[in-house]
Each structure stands twice: as C-alpha cells, then as structure tokens.
Chain A
Amino acid sequence: MLIRRPDDIPTREITDESLYVTRRSWLTMAGVAAVGLLPASLAACGGERASATPGAAAGTATGGGGDEITPYDKATTYNNFYEFGTGKGDPSRNAHTLQPRPWTVMVDGDVRKPGRHDLTALLAGIGTVDRTYRHRCVEGWSMVIPWNGIPLADLIRKVEPGTKAKYVEFTTLYDTKQMPQQRSRTIDWPYVEGLRMDEAMNPLVLLATGMYGKTMPNQNGAPVRLVVPWKYGFKGGKSIVRIRFVEEQPLNTWQQLIPGEYGFYANVNPAVDHPRWSQARERRIGDFLKIPTLPFNGYGAQVASLYAGMDLRKNY
C-alpha cells in the first residue's frame, strides 16, 4: 500500500509483514555466513556488526548480522517528531491530525525541472526499493528499520539539478492546523535539513514512503521522509514539502538551535562525543544494555570516502 504509483506496483511486490520475519532469519543466517568468511582477526574485533550492506545497490534488504529488526510497535511509538510534541510518545498520539494524502512537494532552486508536484507524480517511474538500515539517534538509542522508498539519487537525476546545485535542502511541512504543536515556538519552524550533493547522490540515501511493508505512519514522517543511515536520525527530515537545490550549505534546524552541539554533517561517529554526552555506545531499542556504536553507523565502506581529508571533529 505504498502511496506513490498505486497502480504501478504489483501487489506481489509489496512485502508482506510476515516476509520480513522470514527475511530477518535469512539475514541472520547470511550474517553468520559472512562472519565465517571474514578473517578471524576482523571478526574478533566486531567486524560481524559492520555490515557491508552488499545488496544496497541492488535494492535488496540489507542489515548486519545480529541486527534484529525493531518491532513495528516500538518503531511507531518511540519517535522524535517535535511537530507533534517533544515526548517520545507524543507523535504516535498526536500525528493523526496530519493529512498525508494528497501531498504536494515543491522542487526548486537550481534545477531544470522545477515546480510543485503531486508526490505520486513526482515519484512516478522511479523503481522502489526495500532497505533495512540501522537508525542511530544522536541521543544514544538506535533501531533497525525496514524502509520502503526510492533512492534519492534517482529523483535527483529525474529533476536534473544545474551546476550551481552544491547542496540539497529538505523542508518539513509547516502547518499549525495539521501540526498544532508548531504553535509553540520551541523551534523556528519549519524544520530544515540538508545534504551535500555527493551525499545526496549516495545510493544508500532513501526518500522513504513506507516501512515494514506498510504506508509510512504519520508519526514516522508520512508521506515521504529522508533516510540517511550513516548520519544521526535528526538528518532525516520528515513529511517533506520542499526539495531545493542550492549553492550554499543549508542551515539545518538543530545547527541553528544549538550550533555548539549539532553541526551540518552529523555523521555517526563514536569517536566524536556530543559536548554533553558520549556517542561511543548506543542502546538498541528493546535492549537494556548498550552496544558499541560503529563509525558511520557501520556504513563506512560505502560512505567514508565522501569525507576523505575532512576533519570530522570540526565537521561534526
């Protein structure tokens, strides 16, 4: 029941929830097999969690061995979506006021095909993918979520950005009728996020329209949200209404709020602590104890080269 191109996706291609369970056990087996192939030294130092996401480019589900998929009810009741309240349980209680259909997305900036598009039309013709990614929040908790959506790179190619497009800016809906909490000025709404163009073109980045084989729940960012698995969760703007191609680095909301604590890049990095708390470990939702956090959330093989030569302590 993905919302884009409803006639375009054969029902057989929509993953049934029960299949995810099967897939999870398959992934675990694959993970175990992969560990068996690793050099003993690498496996011993935790290489088994550093998923190489071999199927990412092919569009299959990916995930490291030992990464159990977070139960759906936890992923949909423990959310940071301040447009619906600052408590973790607030979005699932309050987000029913959001009306994700129909949905219009403005594409503008330095782009050859700008305009206000119906979301379904905007995504039409782009093949969908299922991807299971680790999701690491800057607060020190994490989940493993099976997303459904399209690679952002495919949309970018479709709208043809110009030569001045060095960054992509994503803007969340600002509508106090649909998001009543926006009347409180905790944040200078709307929520803005951004990526450098080469980051945005990385095949791992998704514009997700669903999760667990279902339409994206309102509290998780319906109808379309950004998923950037090697960055802290706040980089993934939700309920996106505008995609703008710009020359200057966008001022993302958390950087604007507390620039000493949140930067533009926000790559998951156990070696660079938040000024007030450690980022070395994380609590997987469902667990009591914490586990080590991996550099780039375990996606270093795919993305570390984007930051070659950059001081990631300064560019936090």
Chain B
Amino acid sequence: MTAAQWVGRVVRPLVIVLGVVPLLVLVRRFVADDFGANPAEEIEHFTGMTALLMLLASLAVTPLRRLTRINALVKLRKPIGLWAFGYATLHLGCYLVFDQSLLWGEIIYDILERPYITVGFSAWLILSALAATSSAWAIRRLGKRWAPLHRMVYVAATLGILHFLWLVKLDATTPVTLGFVLVALFIYRLPGRAAAAPGRSGGAP
C-alpha cells in the first residue's frame, strides 16, 4: 500500500471515527456525574476547548503534509474541520440553553454588546460557512473563490482564541499558549514557504 492509499483507507476513516471520542467522553463523564460542582460550566469549557483543539489540528495538517511529504494527508483536513464545527456548535448550544435559557432578547444583546460573545459567535458563523461549503459540489461551484474563503479558518481560530482569552479572569496561560500554536502554524503556512512544499502549492490551509 502506498502512503496515499494508507491515508485514504486507514488514517482518514480512523480520524472520522475518532472525532466522536470527545463526545463519548462527555457523555460518560456526564452520566458518571464527573463534571464537578458546576457541570454546566465544565461542559461549556469542555466543548469549547475540544472545538479549538480540533480547529488547530485541522490547521496542522498542511504543515504535517510538508514535513512528511505525504500529500494525501490533505484528505484529513475536511473531517477534522467538520468535527471542529460540530463541537463549536455543541458549545454554542450549551451557551444558548445553560447560560441564556433560550431567552433570545438577551442572547442578541450579548452577541451585539459583549466582545467575547461577539467574537465567539463570529467564529462560529465563519465555521458554519466553511462547513456549508465543504462538499465536493461546493468546491467545484465556488472554483477559484473557494480557497480564499477557506483561508478564513485562520480568522475563525484567531477569534476563537480571543473569545477564550477575554473570558479568563486572571490566569491566561492556556489561551496564550494556544495563541502561540496558532501563530506558529500560520507562519509555517505563509506564502513564501509554499515553495518548500512538494507538488501543488497554494490552496487552502
């Protein structure tokens, strides 16, 4: 089996299936009452963190592809990105229900007036646009516009980390660390370095 076949037949299906693991962990911990004294808050943090980590993982695919020179790894981007969107949606749902009890007036006020909610919601909007245009049909349909649209994932990740940073009370170690990871991935992805990549250059992250 070639490296490309290996990625297509083994790694990609594995990634698709493994994406559900955090959700299973969440359900197991919930059933076992393992989310501590404030489970609503813990579940919000858990889903938000999972979404952010998966988003960063999807951004790590291209650097990994360059390092390993296995171009087929690009096939992992879509499933990881879609899982990131799934957990971001779950995270948003927790906020809408646990924090706001679906009081839409307050939710709209929050989105418009509270910067950390504004950026978090904007990140989710971007991710939903990317998820909606992730099919082969949408890629064909959008043509040359698809790649620049999907580079917006860097904006979504930046907003996601800002969202995290702005809700932290004092200890910003974790969001700052994630910010450094994002910057490193972004620098690696800059156009000047594209020449280092074998085969087709450019394209979306």
Contacts and interface: CB of A to CB of B under 8 A. Distances in A.
Nearest to B98: A288
A54 B31 CA distance: 40
A276 B171 contact: no
B37 A276 contact: no
B98 A276 contact: no
B5 interface: no
Contact of A88 (B36, B99, B100, B166): B36
Interface stretch (B38-46, B76-84, B142-150, B178-186): B38-46
Contacts of A73: 37
B43 to A, nearest CB: 9
Interface string A67-97: 0000001110110001000101100000000
A278 B114 contact: yes
A287 B36 CA distance: 12
B145 to A, nearest CB: 36
A89 B167 contact: no
Contacts, number: 55
A278 B115 CA distance: 12
Contact of B40 (A82, A86, A276, A288): A288
B170 interface: yes
Contact of A141 (B38, B101, B170): B38
Q: Secondary structure at chain B's binding surface: helix, strand, loop or mixed?
A: helix
Contact of B170 (A82, A277, A280): A82
Given A276-B116, A277-B114, A290-B99, A186 B171 contact: yes
A139 interface: yes
Contacts of A75: 37
B36 A77 contact: yes
B38 A276 contact: no
B37 A77 contact: yes
Interface extent on A, as a size class? 20 to 34
A289 interface: yes
B169 interface: yes
B37 to A, nearest CB: 4
Given A139-B169, A257-B170, A276-B115, A78 B37 contact: yes
Interface in A181-198: 186-187
B98 A289 contact: yes
Contacts of B100: 290
A162 to B, nearest CB: 36
Interface of A: 73-75, 77-78, 82, 86, 88-89, 139, 141, 186-187, 257-258, 276-278, 280, 283, 285-290
Q: Which 10 A-B pairs have the closest CB atoms?
A: A78-B37, A74-B37, A86-B171, A288-B40, A285-B37, A289-B101, A288-B98, A285-B38, A77-B37, A141-B38
Given A77-B36, A276-B114, 10 more contacts: A78-B37, A89-B36, A258-B170, A276-B167, A278-B106, A283-B41, A289-B40, A289-B101, A290-B98, A290-B101
19 contacts: A75-B37, A77-B37, A78-B37, A88-B36, A139-B169, A186-B171, A257-B170, A258-B170, A277-B114, A277-B116, A278-B106, A283-B38, A283-B40, A283-B41, A285-B38, A288-B39, A288-B40, A289-B98, A290-B100
